[in-house]
Structure 1
Amino acid sequence: MAHRKRVAEPDRTEKTCASCGRRIEWRAAWASHWDDVRYCSDACRARRVSSTDRELEKTILRLLGERAATSTICPSDAARAIGGEEWRDLMEPARRAARRLVASGDVRITQKGALVDPSTAKGPIRIGRARPNEEQ
């Protein structure tokens, strides 16, 4: 009877894409370099995080800081604050910024007042301050 060499189970620590903020799904092809994976796709790797993306993150945090602790904002509030008349082009980058802030534990994303998974949320979302002891 042949003995098979036991292969160590890869570490499948949950990761978040550095660009879009969505959860990265583990793939067998990444098993040998899972620790180095930062992006969920080639598109996110090419897009990376720009200075506008960082500005959107700061704007989201600033807008939340100017409101009551339980208040929320729409991603369009941050897009309008930065983009002026061209704010619509910043809507998806604002949503990505919000997802990255969820991953860092700074904010929470809700729909109709209920927490949602930022990786799968579709439609209108609200961004609020993270609450202690609350998992997104």
Structure 2
Amino acid sequence: MPAQPPDKTCASCGRRIEWRKKWARSWDEVKYCGSACRSRKVRPVDEQLSETIQSLLASRAAGATICPSEAARAVAAGSGAGSGAGSDADPEAWRELMEPARRAARRLVEAGEVEITQGGKVVDPSTAKGPIRVRRVR
């Protein structure tokens, strides 16, 4: 029996794609873990979240971490027309960006730029559940 090819990472969500027999003929073309990621792809807001995570980390001390919500809040504040302290923008709009912010962090892990931690320990981004923190690679 031939060896399985190595796992890949989804281009959209950053989770691990495990090899499946049904993909044996097209494994080289597989880029997304499922239909939701295939239809979503990487949107401009996803790129903006990745850049925001990197800039927030760059402005902190070397070992400091951020929560993905910080990037989500920053992008939500910057995307609303006239958003800011006194605007009529929805103050909870950042919540819609939480999962995209987590996806952005997972893609940055795959790129080797950041690590995802829980309780101060590096965790597998594909299986991490609950609150996470993001830090630069040590």
Q: What is the TM-score of this pair, normalised by structure 1?
A: 0.88
Partners of 1:129 and 1:74 lie apart in 2 by 12
Between the aligned partners of 1:82 and 1:43, the Cα distance in structure 2 is: 23
What displacement does 1:67 show?
0.3
Greater than 3 Å deviation, 4+ residue runs: none
Q: 1:20 aligns with which of 13, 24, 30?
A: 13
Preserved contact between residue 4 and residue 19 of structure 2 (Cα < 8 Å): no
Structure 1: which 5+ runs fail to align? 1-6, 132-136
Equivalent residues, number? 124
* In 1: Cα distance, 2:108 partner to 2:5 partner: 22
Counterpart for residue 117 of structure 1: 124
Unpaired segments ≥5 residues, structure 2: 78-90
Query: Is structure 2 residue 56 aligned with structure 1 residue 63?
Result: yes
Q: In the alignment, which residue of structure 1 is the partner of 2:109?
A: 102
- Structure 1 equivalent of residue 37 of structure 2: 44
2:96 equivalent to 1:89 = yes
Superposition deviation, residue 82 in structure 1: 0.5
> Are 2:69 and 2:94, in contact at CA under 8 Å, matched by a contact in 1?
yes
Q: Could you say which structure has the larger radius of gyration?
A: 1
Coordinate RMSD, CA, aligned = 1.1
Q: CA deviation at 1:11?
A: 5.2
- Equivalent pairs: percent with the same residue? 62
Q: Report the alpha carbon displacement of residue 25 of structure 1 after superposing the two structures with TM.
A: 1.1
